[in-house]
Structure 1
Amino acid sequence: MEEQNIFELIHNMDNFTNKLIIQWNKSFNEDLGVSHVLVLSHLNQNGKSRPSDIAKLLGLTPPTLSYLADKLVAKKLAVRMVDEADRRIIYLNITDKGAEVLERAILEGQKLRKNLFQKLTEEDRAQLVNIFEKMNRED
């Protein structure tokens, strides 16, 4: 019985996450996925970074990061930079346009989450915070 509950929980979490991503994609009309925004966010917080380092930190494969970077560069949201000391090293860096798009993505995500969580009572939200805190604790 307990295993069935775990699978049911995972199924419901996946459904919620998928619904959230679909709603965000509809409202954030930039032809970018969540992974693109995660890369922009990393660059915004950490400055220029090697794609292999970004991939490792975000749990992506290097080919996936390369695909994401190509699109970000094509849309002028990021640029590739060559290391002056070692021309074999390439960095990715966010552009001003990329920072603006990231800000809009963050605001859209906040608006979406606010609308979703307003459906819950104050008690429900407090319980949810408690649950997420427990799940995020490293024992």
Structure 2
Amino acid sequence: MEEQTVFELIHNMDKFTNGLIIQWNKTFNEDLGVSHVLVLGHLKQNGKSRPSDLAKILGLTPPTLSYLSEKLVAKKLAVRMVDESDRRIIYLGITDKGAEVLKRATLEGERLRRNLFEKLTDEERAELANLFKKLNS
């Protein structure tokens, strides 16, 4: 078997990821991207956070997080909160509406994952998860 170049591997991973995102966007009609959902998920799990901390944790640039935050706040999925002890510090927090949208996004993601990965055996799914963890470490 011919060995793939790193570029072929990257291309195939990108092709898979982009296809997955396109499928998810088609079925989840909230005019939100995956990054919006990641922000909501972090806020739900960890509580209010400073945008700069969110950007660092999620691997986003501050301008990207600013753009995402604007949309989440405009859609009333998140709110900005001022720190009472230092009014210069702003936090982002999830709203009840944001938690509901996150729940629906998660359910849709699980449905998509089931449909997509049913082609693989349990062992193949476990191996794939381990490979991604290894490559990301």
- Both proteins in one fold, TM over 0.5: yes
> What residue is the counterpart of 1:21 in the other structure?
21
Secondary structure of 1:81's match?
Answer: strand
RMSD: 1.7
Distance (whole Å) between structure 2 residues aligned to residue 135 and residue 33 of structure 1:
22
Residue correspondences, number? 135
| Unaligned segments of structure 1, at least 5 residues | none
1:128–1:5 distance in 2 versus 1, CA, 3 Å: farther
Superposition misfits of 4+ residues, deviation over 3 angstroms: none
Tell me, in whole angstroms, the C-alpha distance in 2 between the residues paired with 1:129 and 1:7. 25
Percent of paired sites with the same residue: 73
Aligned to 2:129: 132
Counterpart secondary structure, 2:52:
helix
In 2, Cα distance between equivalents of 1:104 and 1:85: 35
Unaligned regions of 5+ residues in structure 2, if any?
Answer: none
CA distance in 2, matches of 1:6, 1:88: 46
**Structure 1 pair 91–106 and aligned structure 2 pair: CA distance change class (3 A):** same
- C-alpha deviation, 1:135, in angstroms: 4.4
Instruction: Look up the match of 2:8.
Output: 8
With the length of structure 2 as denominator, give the TM-score of the two structures. Answer: 0.91
TM-aligned CA deviation for residue 11 of structure 1:
1.4
**CA distance in structure 2 between the partners assigned to 1:74 and 1:129 by the alignment:** 39
